[in-house]
């Protein structure tokens, strides 16, 4: 996993970097975390306000220091969406088997 904290060396950018580093270490996530301060590279992501967090090329937050719970949510496994019509299909298959 590649994580980039985009920022121009402001205090909020460093705070975001430290927060991401701490959460990655606490959760034992294998990731390369970099601080990017090159304006050309920042503009390639379409980021207009810093700090910004990019995970595997996708901008997750920009213009603010994300909350700790928000960052943790980025690394939590996603729950599958349970659509009502999928339940209906499964139920129909179970009834036909009997």
Domain ranges of the chain: 2-97
pLDDT of residue 9: 84
49-65: average pLDDT: 95
Per-residue confidence band for 87, with pLDDT thresholds at 50, 70 and 90: low
Take residue 47 and report the two structure tokens written for it.
Answer: 């980021």
Residue 34: strand, helix, or coil: strand
Exposure string for 66-87, b = 16+ CB within 10 A, e = fewer: beeeebeebeeeeeeeeeeeee
pLDDT of residue 86: 62
Mean pLDDT of all residues in the chain?
86
Beta strands (DSSP E) in the chain are: 2-6, 32-36, 52-55, 58-62
pLDDT of residue 5: 96
Condensed to tens digits (0 to 9), the pLDDT of residues 8-54 reads: 889 999 999 999 999 999 999 899 999 999 999 999 999 999 999 99
Condensed to tens digits (0 to 9), the pLDDT of residues 8-17 reads: 889 999 999 9
Q: How many CB atoms lie within 10 A of CB 29?
A: 13
53-70: average pLDDT: 94
Name the architecture of domain 2-97: 3-Layer(aba) Sandwich (3.40)
């Amino acid at each position: 996993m590649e994580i980039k904290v985009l920022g121009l060396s402001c205090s909020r950018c460093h705070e975001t970097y430290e927060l991401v580093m701490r959460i990655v270490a606490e959760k034992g996530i294998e990731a390369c975390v970099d601080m990017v301060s090159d304006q050309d590279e920042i503009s390639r992501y379409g980021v207009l306000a810093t700090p910004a967090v990019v995970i595997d090329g996708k901008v997750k937050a920009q213009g603010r220091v994300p909350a700790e719970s928000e960052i943790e949510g980025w690394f939590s496994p996603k729950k599958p969406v349970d659509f009502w019509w999928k339940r209906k299909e499964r139920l129909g298959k179970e009834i036909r088997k009997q």
